[in-house]
Amino acid sequence: MFDRIGIFGKYSGDQCWENIKTLVDFLISKSRTVYLDKASCANFPEHDNAPLIEREQLKKQIDLAIMVGGDGTFLDVARSIANENVPMMGINLGRLGFLTDISPEDMLVIIDEVLSGVYRKEKRNLLNVKIMQYDEQIFESLALNDVVIHKTASPLMIEFETFVDGRFLNSQRSDGMIISTPTGSTAYALSAGGPILDPSLDAISLVSINPHTMSTRPYVISGESVIELRAHESCKKTAQIICDGQITYDISAHHHTFVSRNEKYLTLIHPKNHDHFELLRAKLHWGDKLF
């Protein structure tokens, strides 16, 4: 039973306010307690019955998170709440919607079913990334889609070594590499030629970005593995670690980056008829007539 529900909005505009108001009014009519995320809903015009609460406090008070926006907003919220074991569902106001799979037109019907206990539940892996400088940890973040080592504005390739569970995998010169969860396999990793991984798999894919040699191919490893990235000594703030395309940290040769599966999973709430294969067909246009 979901009794205390947090609403998260899209930071960049007012296009989600009407949907949020409809959602708040509906949930209150169902005798639910509703809170608004202060970080993303600060400018929401009407919230007398749904107080604004700081996210750090909010995520500890709710038993369901509903995000109204696109996949980018979903990623931001997911990283915030994943370690609190709060299930999450997304209302899609974006363009693609691999993560936000509920349309505004259908949201009230589907949410009514969810509140009645009719839904599908799915667990998704996240990545935990830590950057060490000598023996000191200087950065930590989560990623639902991917962790990327990427060159900065320099036109030069970067050179780095990859280790898996302490064993040397390879050394490469490239524009970078994408370390992806199954969830992120349909995002940046797919654009770089990586494989599509079913979300149920406990796996991590390593996909190089424009490698210098054609023999550098995508590689899939166990989700229990720990990946270490070591930048070459020539790397002097010409590379970054990027989490979900949203959080960045500049690295140099004396930084070691460790990426592993996060201890806790993100729980997604889907409509009862959710079918991941159908979603792939729709979003990737599989089966469309060529002529």
The pLDDT of 186-213, averaged and rounded, is 96
Cβ neighbours of residue 172 closer than 8 Å, sequence gap 6 or more: 159, 160, 162, 208, 211, 212, 213, 216
Banded pLDDT at 291 (limits 50, 70, 90):
low
Per-residue pLDDT at 232: 84
Residue 27 pLDDT exceeds 80: yes
List pLDDT tens digits, range 107-146: 999 999 999 999 999 999 999 999 999 999 999 999 999 9
| 251-271: average pLDDT | 95
Give percent above pLDDT 70 in the chain: 94
CA triple 192-185-60, angle to 5 deg: 130
> pLDDT at residue 290 above 70?
no
**Closest by Cα among 237, 246, 211, 241 to 149:** 241
pLDDT of 25 above 80: yes
Structural domains in the chain, CATH included, are: 4-124+265-284 (3.40.50.10330), 127-261 (2.60.200.30)
Express as a percent the part of the chain with pLDDT over 90: 74
pLDDT for 153 beyond 80 = no
**Which is higher by pLDDT, 235 or 70?**
70
What's 127-143 look like in SS3? EEEEEEECCEEEEEEEE
Q: Given this model, what pLDDT does residue 236 score?
A: 63
Name the residues annotated as catalytic: 71
Mean of pLDDT values over 10-29: 84
- Provide the pLDDT for residue 12: 60
